[in-house]
Structure formats: structure tokens, C-alpha cells
Amino acid sequence: MCFLGFMRAFTILLLILLALLQYRLWFGKNSVPDYFALQEDVSRQQTANEKLQQRNKLLYADTDDLKLGSEAIEERARNELGMIKEHETFFRLIPSKNTRGKNN
């Protein structure tokens, strides 16, 4: 009879221990939901990093063009600064009101 009482108490103790471990697994610090949230954060950060790497590649290509060729410098000066070469005529075409309405 004493052995059965000991086994029953031992079983109850093991069930309580299992319940505590399950609680910690699902609701405690560093639980399964925390793990999935971190995985999602890592995925978002990797996507952001890929976009930044692509932007950096474009910037490196742009700086290489500026360092090596005068055409890129000339193009920037024309488009961004509105500069023209000496003895060059600049024409600015402004669409009429009738053609603006058709495009919009």
C-alpha cells in the first residue's frame, strides 16, 4: 500500500513538472511564440538589407561613372543643375494647356 501511495505522489509530481515545463515553453520568456516573432523580424531585416545592398550597388556604379567618364558628370550638370556648354543654345519646351488635358 505504501508503494502505491509513493507511485501516485511521484506521478503527480511528474505531471506538475510537465505542466510547468509546458507553460514555460508556450508562455514564458524565449517561448515558441517569441521564437516565431524573432524569425519574422529576421526575415524583414534580411529583406531590408537586400534592398539596401541593391541601392549600394547602384550608388557604386554611379560613383564609378562619375570617376571614370566625363559623360556622367556632364549629364548630371545638365539635368540637375540646368547647366549648358559654351556656345550652346538651350530650348525648353512647355506643353500647351490643350495637350496637358489630354495626357491627364
Give the list of residues 6+ apart from residue 32 with CB closer than 8 angstroms, or none.
25, 26
23 pLDDT higher than 80:
yes
15, HSE (Cβ side, Cα atoms, 13 Å): 6
- Whether the pTM exceeds 0.75: the reply is no
Cell 512647355: give the residue. 94
DSSP of 6-55: HHHHHHHHHHHHHHHHHHHHHHSTT-HHHHHHHHHHHHHHHHHHHHHHHH
> Of 22-26, 43-47, 49-53, which gets the smallest average pLDDT?
22-26
Ranges of each domain in the chain: 1-28, 31-93
> In the structure grid, which three cell numbers stand for residue 43, read together?
526575415
Which pLDDT does position 76 carry in this prediction? 77
Higher pLDDT, 67 or 13: 13
